[in-house]
Structures are given as C-alpha cells and as structure tokens.
Amino acid sequence: MTTAPAPIGVIAHYNLLERLEPAGPGELFRARDTRLGRTVVIRWLPAEFARDASARAALLGKARGLIPLSHPNVITLFDAGEEQERVYLVFEFLKGQSLRAEMAGRPLNVRLAVDLAVQIADAVADAHAAGYVHGGLSPDSIVITAKGHAKVPAFELAARDGFESAGQALDVRLSDYGSPEEARGEAPDHRSDIYSVGAMLYEMLTNKRPSHRGAGAPSGINPNVPEGVDAVALKAVAPNPDLRHQSAATLAADLRTAAVALDARGTAGSVKPHEHQSTSVGRVIAMSAVILAGVVAILWWFGFTIQ
C-alpha cells in the first residue's frame, strides 16, 4: 500500500504537500483536498493584498464569483477562503507545460497553432459572455496539457499592471501581449483580449510577436502559412480595435473556417507537431504557478473586471 506523503502544513482542509515556485505574489503549494481526495494547487496571498476584514471580504467575493465559470479550456477555480487573516485560492492541478514551452522557440505546425488558438478563443468568448475581460493572456499563462488541450487561467480579469498595484514586480512577459490601446494607457476591453489571442497565434505561426504599429503577414516569415490563416491573424492584431474581430466567438469561427481550408488542402505545414509524450510533458508540472500569478494580481484590481 502506498503511503500518502506527510503534509508540510495545513490550510483549512487542505494538506500542503510541496512548496512550488510561486511566480507571483504569496506562497504556492501543491496540496491535497482532504474532503474530496484530490490534488490541487493553493496560492496563499500575502497580507498586503487584503489588510483588513472588509478588504478580504471584497476580494473573496470577487474570487468566489469565478467558481461557477466552467469551460473545458479554462483552468478551474475550486475554492477561496481565509486563513490567518490571509486569502487563499484553490485551483485545479494540471500536468502539462506552458504554451511558451510548447513553442520551444520555433513556429508550431500551422494546423496545431490554429487548433490551439481556437481553444483559447473559445475560452475567452465564454468568459466575455459571463461579463469578464481577461487582460493577462500570454504564452506563459496558457497551459498545454499532456493531451494537447489548451487551458486558460480562470477569469476575473483585467490588467497586466495588477502586480504593480499590489506592490509586486510586474512580470514583463505579460505586457508583451497587451494591445496597442493598453500600451497607450487606455482601459482594456474584450477587443484587447482578442488582440492578445491574435498575438499568441501570430507568434505560434512565426516565432515573432506582432508590432503594435501593424504586423506583416505571417506567411512573409513562415511560407507554410496559407492566405486564409494570414487574414485571420492580421485582423485579430489590427492596431485599431474597431478593425479587429469584435467578439472572440467570431475569431474562433474564422479560425475554424481556416482550419477546414487547411484540411482540404491536405497539408498542415511542414513543421511537425510537438509530441505531447515528451519528457517535459510527462513530468508532473504544476503550471498553475505561472497562471495563478496573473489571476491573483488581477483579482486585486477590481475596477476593470465586470463589463
């Protein structure tokens, strides 16, 4: 019989099993939910995120509002609570790697890139329908599971400068995928998320990020990209938000149309898809360490979350 590892601590009814690299504010743990018998990831926020009872109540209210948000491509928030006058958040534990690791510094197979972008756009569309803007999408915050599914951080969500609002150092990689209007200091809206999805698609196709001043066609960098995919990617990253897709659902639909055309051509690009059975994916990697950094900071910045 396998003996369960001894906990290194306890938060509420969660046995803390392993301290993880936090990649964001507070402390991060792999833990065991003793009531439901499942492995989870817990972020225990620092005291400065909610110094008094009213601030903690507001933060918990915002967090708990995310729990009903359910989508196969969204990383699930299971629970939120208070321990020792500090807020903790409990998320599903995933095996996988970040989209950045999946890209591995090279363009992805075109068909794979389109498929992952569809999954991300679907998740964003679902969050937008529920009244949330994400504001923290990047290849570092997206998990690609061992089965090849894209998982997007739970949504509250707005603003890459949330870390600065909380007195933390801003992870500059998040801001690399912000929209031109955000770079001008304007508040993000749903079209800002569409830009971020488009920027990730552009990078998956070319291994380069689009310019805020206007991007060249991905096919100019990667000749395996067909015209239909070019058109969708360029529309998604248009500098003027009025010229982008006006909904994530429309972006997902256009990507599906491009995928059908790719399949009809009988080619998906010469770069082979990554093998998800690789050693990096085979390891149990708590990618929530990356993801929760964006989620937690975003929860702190209340003003731009509800549309």
Do 190 and 82 belong together in one domain? no
Give pTM, 2 decimals: 0.76
Residue span of the structural domain in which 55 resides = 9-94
Do 68 and 214 belong together in one domain? no
Taking the alpha carbons of 197, 201, 204, 206 in that order, is the dihedral positive or negative? negative
Residue linked to tokens 């990096």? 280
Residue 80 pLDDT greater than 70, yes or no: yes
Beta strands in 108-211 (DSSP E): 143-145, 150-151
CATH of the domain at 74: 3.30.200.20
| Helix, strand and coil percent figures for the chain, each rounded to 5 | 40, 15, 45
pLDDT tens profile 206-216: 999 999 999 99
Residue linked to tokens 């999408």? 137
Packing angle between helix 248-265 and helix 227-236, nearest 10 degrees?
Answer: 170
**Domain stops at, among 94, 125, 143:** 94
Question: Which of 180, 105, 183 has the alpha carbon at shortest distance from 139?
Answer: 105
In DSSP notation, 170-199 reads --HHHHTT--HHHHTTPPP-HHHHHHHHHH
Do 33 and 167 belong together in one domain? no
Is residue 279, in this structure, part of any structural domain at all? no
Do 229 and 117 belong together in one domain? yes
Question: What's the order of all strands across the beta sheet hosting 27-33?
Answer: 9-11, 14-20, 27-33, 38-44, 86-92, 77-83
Indicate the pLDDT class of residue 153, thresholds 50, 70 and 90.
confident
Do 119 and 54 belong together in one domain? no
Quote the number of domains for the chain. Answer: 2
CATH of the domain at 138: 1.10.510.10
Do 57 and 140 belong together in one domain? no
CB 271 within 8 A of CB 15: no
pLDDT tens profile 135-147: 778 898 888 999 9
Do 171 and 239 belong together in one domain? yes
